[in-house]
Structure 1
């Protein structure tokens, strides 16, 4: 699978990396410890990225009812086609910052603080990463539906730390307005806010198996600019498709400079 596209000053060569190269491509190479994400970068690099393993999903995966947090109970059956939850998943929900349509450039953006439903304490193995992230999004959406609330933005994953086998994250879904009264929306899901402030946005628009090349380019771009990133980073998942083999799969990666 060949081809290339520009990311800022860096060209992404779209060659699916060998599985053993994925952790190396994202700066993970120190066994036995758990550190903030940016601390895994090799000397001279300033950003680390985390692997979420591609698992086949339906386009309505966001809205599958009863999905549970990682490493707990198994999810309930997905809603039938045409159900309110499935319809919500098909909506083209807005990004945190309006998209320009140019997937080749690193964009300097200002993330607005938005109210959100937040699932904290997420943890996953690399192999189950994408599955557990999407199940976390589904659990939040199910809780919002039961509370009579609608998502007002694309699901987000904030990656906090990692080691050779696991990573820690928070999952969140933006809301149009703060949850009345704040506090807990459902067991394990609380009212919160999305990350805010200056960020660089990099757009991955390709099958999921090619995301490693995007992260390699992000790391090289930041290094070329001598930029130091915050420890956490953000992925924003498009609601238009969640098929990992779709060439139009879109994931926005936000990196916040220190």
Structure 2
């Protein structure tokens, strides 16, 4: 399926120009009721009758605590307790700025800068496409490792043509110094440059069909005019990364 979308994309680009609390306080008031003052009654049982008027006096003071209930306005601080919830909202507000994870950009306009690269030219059929690309990268890495030359950027594949059976490509690795003893299929040159749209693919090479289909639809919807090539930049090393864990930038150069 990969080749169908790449073919559609490749055909779309040149041909169609990529058209794309108070009650509790009252309960305590009985406790002040000088019923405890009745305790004098046991001390003098004879004047038990006299205590009754005294008791009548005691109820009067007992009634006086009831005005203390009039202190219920003091209970108005209860609204002050209601003020305690007010600090709660700021705490909630502090939790609101939760980090949000954004998706990969799709169709982001960018400028490609030309880099010095060592490259190898190759052809592949769709059935063994990824294996062929990996072999090309292996050949380039063997050359650089032998000469102690480090990569100066991510490995790339530049598709130069596609058809029903396969495609031609350039496998490129950016370098800062020129390697020697190149094979006949290898050369030193520059990577593509200029304005391009950037798309991101995550997953296996075989599942890139969905990505290329989405790219084709995006170009068609935006009615964009693109060049007749596209580039894959491997953010993960295809020689060391499981195929289903690949992360690849796809660039479509614009005219």
> Which bracket does the TM-score occupy, shorter chain normalised?
0.5 to 0.7
* CA distances 1:30-75 after superposition (whole Å, capped 9, x unpaired): xxxxxxx73366975729xxxxxxxxxxxxxxxxxxxxxxxxxxxx
Aligned twin of 1:112 = 113
Aligned twin of 1:179 = 178
Aligned twin of 1:39 = 11
Q: CA deviation at 1:159?
A: 0.4
- When residues 163 and 145 of structure 1 are mapped into structure 2, their CA distance, relative to the original with a 3 A threshold, is same
Q: CA deviation at 1:229?
A: 1.3
Q: CA deviation at 1:221?
A: 0.5
Pairwise mapping of residues 66-145 of structure 1 onto structure 2 (< 5 A)?
Answer: 102-120=103-121, 122-145=122-145
Query: Matches of 1:138 and 1:129 in 2, distance apart?
Result: 14
Question: Of Structure 1 and Structure 2, which has the larger fraction of its residues in helix?
Answer: 2
Unaligned runs of 5+ in 2: 20-101
Query: Matches of 1:250 and 1:153 in 2, distance apart?
Result: 15
Aligned twin of 1:75 = none
- Answer yes or no: is the 8 Å Cα contact 1:45–1:219 preserved in 2: no
Matched, 1:24 2:4: yes
- Answer yes or no: is the 8 Å Cα contact 1:160–1:232 preserved in 2: yes
Larger radius of gyration: 2
- Answer yes or no: is the 8 Å Cα contact 2:198–2:249 preserved in 1: yes
Pairwise mapping of residues 3-14 of structure 1 onto structure 2 (< 5 A)?
Answer: none
CA RMSD of aligned residues (A): 2.6
Question: Of Structure 1 and Structure 2, which has the larger fraction of its residues in strand?
Answer: 1
Deviating more after overlay: 218-227 vs 201-210:
201-210
**Equivalent of 1:236 in 230, 233, 238:** 233
- When residues 160 and 128 of structure 1 are mapped into structure 2, their CA distance, relative to the original with a 3 A threshold, is same
How many residues align? The count is 171
Query: Matches of 2:12 and 2:109 in 1, distance apart?
Result: 24
Query: Matches of 2:2 and 2:113 in 1, distance apart?
Result: 32
TM-score (norm 2): 0.60
Pairwise mapping of residues 161-176 of structure 1 onto structure 2 (< 5 A)?
Answer: 161-175=161-175
Unaligned runs of 5+ in 1: 1-20, 29-36, 48-100
Query: Matches of 2:213 and 2:186 in 1, distance apart?
Result: 33
Matched, 1:191 2:163: no
- When residues 38 and 210 of structure 1 are mapped into structure 2, their CA distance, relative to the original with a 3 A threshold, is closer
Aligned twin of 2:40 = none
Q: Could you say what secondary structure the match of 1:227 adopts?
A: coil
- Answer yes or no: is the 8 Å Cα contact 2:7–2:163 preserved in 1: no
Query: Matches of 2:160 and 2:236 in 1, distance apart?
Result: 23
Query: Matches of 1:139 and 1:211 in 2, distance apart?
Result: 24
- Answer yes or no: is the 8 Å Cα contact 1:151–1:173 preserved in 2: yes
